[in-house]
A and B are shown apart, each in its own frame.
Chain A
């Protein structure tokens, strides 16, 4: 069946229709294997990620307690959420405060620490020391934090401050409405040296020496200039990755807050959007409303991530 095409000297041969068809068939056979390769992950991914997201969006327009079938109520959940739910406004304020402080600070801290560690020789110990807190879970460390910040004389922080003379009587860190949020922020920062930190460290390690030398020739004198003009632009992909991770993580904080101050916290001082969601989903079983909250959170995170991609992207398309 195969037709032999003559090769004309000097001219590229135009494949016949048959040859092209055979080639396409061959490609398709290869593609089929590719699809098979992707199948296990894609199936699981669709079942456990795509479908839940879509049904979450659907559920946010319904009233659903898990006992009856969902009942369509349109925009009612969202109207309630934004117009009448005062606690949500408090949660929103707390969460935004939280991420405005935690996000950039942890981002900057990650980069700064990675940069410092990168200039040293023995870095394994330091890397572990800074990365370890992020791989513990907030709840497991909760007991230790409670002892540290405990409100009586025996709490370690109180004890040290009283010994130093800064305080005269024990201060109830974790129950005082004014100090609860700062403490949760501090603990979160402690736990935030995570994958972004590793990415920066890796990126810094793989930096090209020649660029720095070229920079010296061109007149860069101190290390700050070096960082601004050479290091940062070269690290744009890692910076983007770190920024997205920092934002995503800071908006969905809840484990630490609950472990330290309980759910719900006094006067809702450490109430975040996530804890608000947990409240409605698992205490009151109003899944529709909770889904609406999660959709709002999702839109926020998606929007912010997209924003960062636009600002920090190297090619304009990810």
Chain B
């Protein structure tokens, strides 16, 4: 579909039947319900948490659960905010570096005729089909050998090497017209300049998608910190939730558990809301060769 297409757009129904809205609304409610429960539980004071039958609203919203979180870890361990900081630092670093590295790699993958490029791209595509299980155990051994255990690098470096982002970026960059690049070359631009001044600004819409996916996989990752960190000070939020709030603690500290869960889910949702338009427009190129 290379020629100019005059009327892309939504497939609107002639009359939008209320029926569809209603059905979708019902389904959406079912989908959201567990998360809604978590959100309201986070703000319920202790006397409302275990009311039965359960209330779907909060009568006296309070921030006690969040302060509980800070106190819960107490003096013996690190403060809860340390977990939050670790997670934030690692995720932000991974996202920034991943966007940069993936774009840098995708540019030659999409446009270069150098020998071996095609092979590398096939490798990347093949790696999309690997499961993390195959790589988990040896990764631990490698990071151990590199003596990166218990550092931030252990969690950042594998996160940057995600192949999904590179793949997506390559598909996106293929849309850049070659004539534009030829014109830039004739004007004397070196590859480096062309990359920074031309490709990167053009690929802004795709940054949103890469950001979201890299963020999700890094922020929600509990396996990485579980294996790669030893000291309490280096653990991240999902792992802290796992250790502190699983088993019987899920009931005993239901309020704090919901608050922690909210902290875990909220940033991702906010990020998605901000970026969602760009994300969806980029995903259109997800499968196109």
A positions within 8 Å CB-CB of B: 30-31, 33-35, 37-38, 40-42, 44-45, 47-53, 55-56, 59, 66, 113, 116-121, 124-133, 135-137, 139-148, 154, 156, 159, 190, 193, 195, 198-199, 201-210, 212, 236-241, 244, 248, 251-252, 274, 277, 281, 287, 290-291, 293-295, 297-298, 301-302, 305, 314-315, 318
Contact = CB atoms under 8 A, between A and B. Distances in A.
A251 B141 CA distance: 25
A316 to B, nearest CB: 10
Contact of B138 (A56, A119, A274, A298): A56
Contacts of B272: 128, 131-132, 135
B59 interface: no
Nearest to A213: B7
A152 to B, nearest CB: 11
B105 A40 contact: yes
8 contacts: A45-B161, A48-B142, A126-B28, A129-B28, A159-B53, A209-B11, A210-B7, A290-B137
B71 interface: no
B214 interface: no
Q: Which of A35, A49, A209, A210 has the most CB of B within 10 A?
A: A49
B24 A49 contact: no
A142 B265 CA distance: 13
A292 to B, nearest CB: 11
A221 B195 CA distance: 49
Contacts of B183: none
A102 B183 CA distance: 50
B34 A56 contact: no
Interface residues of B, number: 102
Contact of A34 (B53, B108, B213, B222): B108
B82 interface: no
A120 B19 CA distance: 11
Q: Which of B28, B54, B272 has the most CB of A within 10 A?
A: B28
Q: Chain B binding site: helix, strand, loop or mixed by DSSP?
A: helix
Given A125-B28, A190-B31, 6 more contacts: A41-B105, A136-B265, A137-B264, A147-B254, A238-B287, A248-B128
A237 B261 CA distance: 36
B96 to A, nearest CB: 13
Contacts of A203: 283-284, 287
A315 B261 contact: no
A37 B195 CA distance: 10
Contact of A120 (B8, B20, B195): B20
Contact of B10 (A35, A38, A205, A318): A205
A82 to B, nearest CB: 18
B124 interface: yes
A139 B222 contact: yes
Nearest to A212: B11
Interface string B1-44: 10001111111110010001101100110011011011001000
Given A56-B137, A118-B11, A318-B289, A44 B24 contact: no
A291 B135 CA distance: 9
Q: Which 7 A-B pairs have the closest CB atoms?
A: A237-B287, A41-B105, A52-B138, A31-B114, A34-B108, A129-B28, A202-B284
B98 to A, nearest CB: 9
A290 B191 CA distance: 45
B287 A241 contact: yes
B35 A136 contact: yes
Given A41-B105, A136-B220, A210-B7, A237 B137 contact: no
Q: Which of A59, A154, A206, A302 has the most CB of B within 10 A?
A: A206
A119 B17 CA distance: 10
A154 B50 CA distance: 9
B58 interface: no
B131 to A, nearest CB: 5
A298 B269 CA distance: 32
A139 B4 CA distance: 47
Contacts of A139: 222, 238, 241-242, 246
B201 interface: no
Given A44-B160, A120-B24, A198-B283, A298 B11 contact: no
Nearest to B135: A52
B102 interface: yes
Nearest to B191: A33
B104 A40 contact: yes
A305 B54 CA distance: 45
A37 B104 contact: yes
A36 B2 CA distance: 31
B90 interface: no
B186 interface: no
A38 B13 contact: no
A43 to B, nearest CB: 9
B220 A116 contact: no
Interface stretch (B61-69, B72-80, B273-281): B273-281
B202 interface: no
Contact of A154 (B52, B117, B283): B52
Contacts of B13: 119
A236 B287 CA distance: 8
